[in-house]
Structure 1
Amino acid sequence: MTKFINNLNKYLSEMKIKQNCLSMLTGIDKNKLSRLLTGVQDESGTDMEKIAQALGKDVEFFLKDSISIPEINHFTFNKIAFYAGEPSKKQERIANQLADYRTKWNSYCALV
């Protein structure tokens, strides 16, 4: 397996991110993602970019000899709050989409 995939697998394991959730975030088919993560299929530059971006990292992060992974208990994902003032219809639609995405994400990850 490549350095990218080895580091990615380590990151996913430490951060307790499931393959199905990563598939949903990246848009990469779950079967293809499984092949990538097991080294059966080589990852493309596009695959690496999608995966890194979905995880909030750049590709170079996963290409390092040693990666630093924060402890998961430092994260709190319970609530999202912001003040939007008097939002336009477009801003309101975006906020609702974000809230809907968050709900779907929590439901999806609870199932897998």
Structure 2
Amino acid sequence: MTKYVENVNTYLSEMKIKQTFISLKSGIETSKLSRILTGAQDINATDMERIATALGQKVEYFLSQDFYVPSLDNAMVAEVAFYAGNPSKQQESFAMKLVDLIENVDEVLGAKDRFMKAIME
């Protein structure tokens, strides 16, 4: 197993990231990713790049001999993602209504600041 794969496995374990998430985010089939991460299949540069990008890192990060995984307590979470399968048309419609609601709430909350600025002028 290469240093890259060892470091990726350590990172996944420490950060509690599932292979399924990496597969979905990187576009690498789950079975192929599993073979790569167990050392049963050699990894190529393209797959290294895709995995690193899916994890929000550069390839060099996982190639480092002095590899360090930040603790979850100190890690800044910049993105939250999940996969719940393919939504039905009803679920898509509901999700779009929620997005509209959030945009409207944001617009209303932003109106207070605009109103206060207009009064002060």
TM-score normalised over the length of structure 1: 0.68
Partner of 2:3: 3
Moved over 4 A (4+): none
> Larger relative CO (CA 8 A, sep 6+): 1 or 2?
1
What is the identity, as a one-letter code, of the residue corresponding to 1:44?
N
- Map residues 15-94 of structure 1 onto 2, 5 A cutoff: 15-75=15-75
User: Quick check: which has more Rg, 1 or 2?
Assistant: 2
Partner SS for 2:22:
helix
What is the identity, as a one-letter code, of the residue corresponding to 1:7?
N
Give unpaired runs (5+ residues) of structure 1: 81-100
Within 2, Cα distance between the matches of 1:57 and 1:44?
Answer: 17
Partner SS for 2:28:
coil
Within 2, Cα distance between the matches of 1:66 and 1:25?
Answer: 26
Give unpaired runs (5+ residues) of structure 2: 86-121
Partner of 2:103: none
Pick closer, same or farther for the CA change 1:69–1:46 going to 2, 3 Å. Answer: same
Within 1, Cα distance between the matches of 2:68 and 2:19?
Answer: 20
Identity across matched positions, percent: 47
1:65-94 Cα shifts (integer Å, max 9, x gaps): 1211111133575x98xxxxxxxxxxxxxx
1:44-84 Cα shifts (integer Å, max 9, x gaps): 1000000001111110110011211111133575x98xxxx
TM-score normalised over the length of structure 2: 0.63
Q: Matched residue pairs, number?
A: 85
What is the identity, as a one-letter code, of the residue corresponding to 2:18?
K
What is the identity, as a one-letter code, of the residue corresponding to 1:46?
T
What is the identity, as a one-letter code, of the residue corresponding to 1:32?
K
> Superposition RMSD on alpha carbons, in Å?
2.3
What is the identity, as a one-letter code, of the residue corresponding to 1:53?
T
Pick closer, same or farther for the CA change 1:57–1:76 going to 2, 3 Å. Answer: closer
